[in-house]
Amino acid sequence: MPSRTATLAKKPSLIRSITTNMGAYTALTPVVSKIFCSNSHAVLMVRRRPPTVNGGGLVVTDRDQRIVFSVDGCGIIGASGQLIVRDGDGTAILFIHKKGGVVQALSVNNWWKGYLMDYGEPTKLVFSLQDPKPVLCMNGDVKVTVEPNGRRKHWDYEVTGSFVQRACAVRSRAGHVVAQIGVKGMLAGKDFYHVVVQPGYDQAFVVGVIAILDNIHGESTRC
């Protein structure tokens, strides 16, 4: 039986997929897996769980209010600087942790690593995120590198705007908007906000970045 890694671990290079719109092509850019890429815009709603409810974390639903992702933080895992992203079935698909140690303590950046999960165990490294000390989620300071890369001094994505104010975007190195984080509606706010992911981009990867931003700013995934 093929392992879950064999199913999910796709090389993060450009893959072409045929859409149903006039036979046009949409470029898919998987990081976690191409199964989390869509040929159309994906509107996701993110809800923060209070620490007293299931240990906190995040719940992500689609337009039909179906759970498509969830994020466990230290309230569930019991360890700070660690996050688990699950799919709609509750299967762990991404393990994220903040690097520690003396070298990290002396670095000007905090480093986070995202790994594919294979039967409950982290396996392949798929992205790295760095944010400067002190943390400011603005002016493009937060950088994300897709792994394995080989271009160690380069980055592939950046976060621009203010996550705290829920006015934030994930952009590619070329400047294209990958995902837009914002609020709309009477019930929207810091505890309930929306994310619009552009066609072709990996929604699980975007949720992983949001989970890190949530933790960086001491919100629901952090104890």
> 45-54, 85-94, 198-207: which has the minimum mean pLDDT?
45-54
pLDDT band at 4 (very low <50, low <70, confident <90, very high): very low
Using the Cα atoms of residue 210, residue 145, residue 159 and residue 216 in order, give the sign of their dihedral.
Answer: positive
List the chain domain ranges: 4-216
Q: Which amino acid is at 62?
A: D
Tally the residues of the chain: 223
Specify the pairing of strand 109-118 against strand 92-98.
antiparallel
Closest CA to 98 of 83, 84, 108: 83
Tell me the pLDDT tens digit for each residue of 6-21: 334 333 333 344 344 4
Tell me the pLDDT band of 105, cut-offs 50, 70 and 90. low
Query: 191-222: per-residue pLDDT in tens?
Result: 999 999 999 999 999 999 999 999 999 999 99
**Of 180, 221, 223, which is closest to residue 59 (Cα–Cα)?**
221
Nearest in space to 222 (alpha carbons), one of 110, 139, 63, 104:
110
- Which residue is it, tokens 């000007």? 108
Q: CA torsion sign, 120 to 155 to 159 to 37?
A: negative
Other C-beta atoms lying within 10 Å of the C-beta of residue 170? 26
The answer to whether 47 and 192 are in contact (CB under 8 A) is yes
The pTM for the full model equals 0.84
Please provide the CATH number assigned to the domain covering 4-216. 2.40.160.200
